[in-house]
């Protein structure tokens, strides 16, 4: 006998026993009150009728109850599994698979938040220096290791409320929430120095020395994310032009987007 059958039978017997006792009590009380005789047939009726009716009815009810409970449990498990799958899918679509940072689309969506009057965020664009030579001379595995080190450094040197994303290839973005330019420069310098202090990544010959260039731009209340990205990109290009491994929040000229893209690949 299965545990389910045992539970159903046990509950049914308890209910039937209660029904038998109740039937005896009501029937015999009524017969005494009406001065009717209590014969053997009265005993048989009071015992058999509750058993013949109550036992199968209660068994059916408890069986249906168990079935409904099993269905509810399965639905709950299915709902939990579906929610976990949805959460995994949401994470995959909004995060970079290699670094675990935000994807470009999710990062830009967070840039486009509503800000109060006088509230500013600041965008940092971080790009490793001479990254193409790392891949060419030491292999893509060392390039991936470089990107993972930078990602961990960004997590370590920023606040929990800031947003960090991999914007494509080797470029990273940091959204400093409610931070103006002056403080953002200090944070950017901390990031640059922290990464500059990394031990060399083991590779061919002397290994890989990791440094980054950083460009930044403030985001005002009505700032357009694409415009801010362009300004920060020009500042990043300026940092590259002035020798790399430095922070820039002021671009000297509005160069073409093609030159900016070229600088990011260096």
Q: Which of 225, 254, 220 is nearest to 237 (CA)?
A: 254
Q: Is 37 exposed, middle or buried (0-12, 13-18, 19+ CB in 10 A)?
A: exposed
Tokens of 250: 């002021």
Catalytic entry in 170, 182, 196, 218: 170
Q: For residue 81, how many other CB atoms are within 10 A of its CB?
A: 10
Residue-wise DSSP of 3-31 = HHHHHHHHHHHHHHHHHHHHHHHHHHHHH
Does 171 participate in catalysis according to the annotation? no
Burial degree of 210 (CB within 10 A; 0-12, 13-18, 19+): buried
- Residues 220/115, Cβ–Cβ less than 8 Å: yes
Active site residues: 170
């Amino acid at each position: 006998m299965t545990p389910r059958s045992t539970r159903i039978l046990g509950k049914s017997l308890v209910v039937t026993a209660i029904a038998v006792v109740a039937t005896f009590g009501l029937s015999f009380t009524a017969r005494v009150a009406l001065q009717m005789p209590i014969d053997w047939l009265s005993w048989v009726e009071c015992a058999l009728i509750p058993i013949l009716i109550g036992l199968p009815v209660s068994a059916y009810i408890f069986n249906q109850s168990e079935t409904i409970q099993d269905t509810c449990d399965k639905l709950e498990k299915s709902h939990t599994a579906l929610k976990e799958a949805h959460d995994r899918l949401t994470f995959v679509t909004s995060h970079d698979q290699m670094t675990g940072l935000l994807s470009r689309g999710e990062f830009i969506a967070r840039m486009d938040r509503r800000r109060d009057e006088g509230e500013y965020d600041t965008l940092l664009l971080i790009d490793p220096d001479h990254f193409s030579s790392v891949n060419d001379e030491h292999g893509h595995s060392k390039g991936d290791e470089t990107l993972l080190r930078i990602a961990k450094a960004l997590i370590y040197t920023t606040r929990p409320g800031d947003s960090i994303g991999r914007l494509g290839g080797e470029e990273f973005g940091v959204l400093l929430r409610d931070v103006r330019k002056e403080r953002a420069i200090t944070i950017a310098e901390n990031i640059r120095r922290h990464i500059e202090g990394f031990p060399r990544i083991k590779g061919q010959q002397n290994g890989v020395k990791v440094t980054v260039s950083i460009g930044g731009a403030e985001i005002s209340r009505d700032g357009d994310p694409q415009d801010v990205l362009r300004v920060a990109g020009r500042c990043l290009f300026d940092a590259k032009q002035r020798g790399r491994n430095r922070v820039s929040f002021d671009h000297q000229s509005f160069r073409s987007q093609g030159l900016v893209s070229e600088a990011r690949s260096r």
